[in-house]
Structure 1
Amino acid sequence: MNDLQPTKPQTDLATLDDLQQATLTYINKSKADNTKNAYQNDWNQFAAWCEHHGLQPLPAEPRTVALYLTHEAQSGRKASTIQRRISSISQAHQAKGYDSPTLNALVRSTWAGIKNTHGTAQEGKKPLLIEHVRAIAEALPDSLLGVRDRALLLTDFAGAFRRSELVNIDMKDVEFTTDGVVISLRRSKTDQEGSGERIGIPYGSTPLTCPVRALRAWLDQAGITEGAVFRSVNRHGQVQAKGLSDKAVALIVKRAVELIGLNPDEYSGHSTRSGLATSAAKAGVSERVIMKQTRHKSTQTVRKYIKEGELFAENAAARVGL
């Protein structure tokens, strides 16, 4: 027998089982947790509606999906919510190996009609502009909680962080330099592969509104040298070991805007991020530079902020002598 003759590979069923489990784990990690949670919630809503009406959710008939979208539209759902519902239904079908009913002409026509009838304009929360941030920094008390909130809001605004990014900042991700502070993001919404991004936050023009000084003051007063950067403070003024949740960031923003007389219902945890983009546009910063700091991959969202920031720049009515 020829010793060089190739031999038939042996199949190790245990190893294949392990690979199958690992593959499922990788698939599960392919989307951000917030996205998966939203998809799951949307699917639960659709499945419950189908059960209530005696319809099959998986695989769903195109007619079922069309009726559901009509129900959502007539219930006053925003177009952005309905669009996400469509994506969630499609994802659920594809995950189980079924063709997505959302691609059917009936569903597509229904969705087009909903958009034409109800519009797609989104009523988002207001941006927290630079003048608001300055006023908040001045109004916050010098207590430990006030020092934390000042550091959090100034860092959040200057770094244009998403809430999930902000609360996951660890001390090992923070590097103070002569130019400011560099914060390393190990994973973000637009960087699910975990290649990492470095965000530069420069010194501010005045000590009170300087994000670098504010962050340094919080870390020093809280005695934080490792672990989560932004943490809760209990009613006894004690800093807790666990980091804040993304929901806590939204509450801090709302509490801060109320402090300077703004309506907290009009602002959210996203207001600092949108506020940096809008304020930068008002200051004449280019789209490219804004996107570099906000880390948007698409120009569509950024241009919405730029449009808002440039409402009174090169304004025709301002030049006719009213």
Structure 2
Amino acid sequence: MSQPTPAAAEQLPARPTAELFLPTEYSPEVRARLAALDAASDEHAAGQRPDNTTRSYASDWRTWEAFCGQLQIPTTAATRGTLRAFVDYLWKHERRAYSTIDRKLAGVVVTLRRPPYGVLVDPDATRAARELLKDYRKQAQAAEEPERGRGKAPAMRLADLQRVVSLCGTDIFGVRDQAMLLLGFSIAARRAELAGLRLRNIRDDENGLLVHVAVSKTEPRTVPVPFGKNPLTCPVRAWKAWAVAAQITDPDRHAFRRIHHTGAVQPQGLSPQRAGDLITAAGLRAGYKELFTGHSVRSGLATEARRAGKDRKAISAITGHADGSKVLDGYMQIVDQWDEKDNALIGLGL
């Protein structure tokens, strides 16, 4: 290729000075500025992460450190062999549940990717470890071993919700629990999402409430919550009754608060664990033997909405599930298994 003439070269657009340097040619000053930006961005990203996720990652890392200590290997040595050995250790020696081991694998990989480690784990190594975990689970199922862990949270169906709410009581504790259950059901809340709600996230609308779920495991979402037909189970009325009784006025304060045994509402918000415990306690108070958890109101909304014939896109707008979510498919299956269109046995004439 011929070189441009001096006259033609003068007509070429000038390149920005920064583009003249390759990363290997950056000066120490530029490297320092870029490192400072990286550190600041990491700190900011960590600040956006829900507290329960941060705690889970920290727990996963402690388990990994203990495992690496036993094998006398560096914590940064996340290879195909070490990750498989980690799965074997958790499954056979600690007898952890399938979902717990899967989550701990993810926690280790994510932690290694972040400072101060900066280690990118080979996806094939992670995939190999998960394949081994699946094999162990299949072997356990074939041997008819009992499922490990507490299993999926039972869905709090509409009839369950009505019964639980009716037995919450009329004192300040009951008013709070009723509002938390009904609003949690209406926005398909995880326990951390309930605990993370601030007053500013719940806005009045002529049709009900607009609830912005800012603290979420996935993407934030805004859920329009309409007035209910039944005053006993209306989430809008229940929320307003609690807001008045608790005298919540500061927009930056938690929507749901701790209550002293004397009945005095405290300024501190509920922890995710406490929010889940209150839902469990409400179920026990209503006489249910199965333990409802913080996730029960979420799965209950998805199940009941599908039973009412709501489109999965409308349901996912409330739950925040991504398109094609396998978790949402599980909720759908509870209802669809008895639907004439989805059950090939119905209408055959058996």
| Structure 2 counterparts to residues 60-71 of structure 1, below 5 A | 60-71=78-89
Determine the C-alpha separation between the residues in 1 that align with 2:318 and 2:31: 49
Determine the C-alpha separation between the residues in 2 that align with 1:220 and 1:303: 39
Among 207, 211, 216, the residue aligned to 1:179: 207
* Counterpart for residue 215 of structure 1: 239
* Counterpart for residue 277 of structure 1: 302
Determine the C-alpha separation between the residues in 2 that align with 1:236 and 1:262: 27
2:197–2:215 CA contact under 8 A, matched in 1: no
| Structure 2 counterparts to residues 1-322 of structure 1, below 5 A | 11=29, 18-29=36-47, 31-74=49-92, 75-95=94-114, 96-100=117-121, 103-104=124-125, 107=129, 110-118=132-140, 123-191=151-219, 196-226=220-250, 227-263=253-289, 266-298=291-323, 299-314=325-340
2:223–2:317 CA contact under 8 A, matched in 1: no
| Cα distance change on mapping 1:138 and 1:295 into 2, 3 Å | same
Determine the C-alpha separation between the residues in 1 that align with 2:316 and 2:46: 29
1:244-295 alpha-carbon deviations (Å, 9 max, x no partner): 111111111111111221125x321111011100111222222111111111
- Segments of structure 2 that go 5 or more residues without pairing to the other structure are 1-15, 19-25, 142-146
Amino acid of the structure 2 residue aligned with 1:35:
T
2:182–2:233 CA contact under 8 A, matched in 1: yes
Match of 1:39, SS state, is helix
Determine the C-alpha separation between the residues in 2 that align with 1:114 and 1:22: 42
1:145-175 alpha-carbon deviations (Å, 9 max, x no partner): 1111111100100111222221222222222
Structure 2-normalised TM-score? 0.78
Amino acid of the structure 2 residue aligned with 1:189:
K
Task: Report sequence identity in percent.
Answer: 28
Determine the C-alpha separation between the residues in 1 that align with 2:334 and 2:80: 39
Match of 1:225, SS state, is coil
Determine the C-alpha separation between the residues in 2 that align with 1:257 and 1:203: 24
* Counterpart for residue 3 of structure 1: none
- Segments of structure 1 that go 5 or more residues without pairing to the other structure are 1-5
1:102–1:108 CA contact under 8 A, matched in 2: no
Determine the C-alpha separation between the residues in 2 that align with 1:272 and 1:159: 9
Larger radius of gyration: 2
Q: CA deviation at 1:94?
A: 3.2
Determine the C-alpha separation between the residues in 2 that align with 1:291 and 1:256: 27
1:282–1:313 CA contact under 8 A, matched in 2: no
1:79-130 alpha-carbon deviations (Å, 9 max, x no partner): 2222222223323443324352663386465345334424699821101111
Determine the C-alpha separation between the residues in 2 that align with 1:252 and 1:7: 61
Q: CA deviation at 1:317?
A: 7.0
Determine the C-alpha separation between the residues in 2 that align with 1:300 and 1:262: 28
Determine the C-alpha separation between the residues in 2 that align with 1:180 and 1:27: 33
Amino acid of the structure 2 residue aligned with 1:57:
T
Determine the C-alpha separation between the residues in 2 that align with 1:107 and 1:224: 49
Q: CA deviation at 1:27?
A: 4.8
Match of 2:223, SS state, is strand
| Cα distance change on mapping 1:156 and 1:27 into 2, 3 Å | closer
Amino acid of the structure 2 residue aligned with 1:87:
A
Amino acid of the structure 1 residue aligned with 2:190:
R
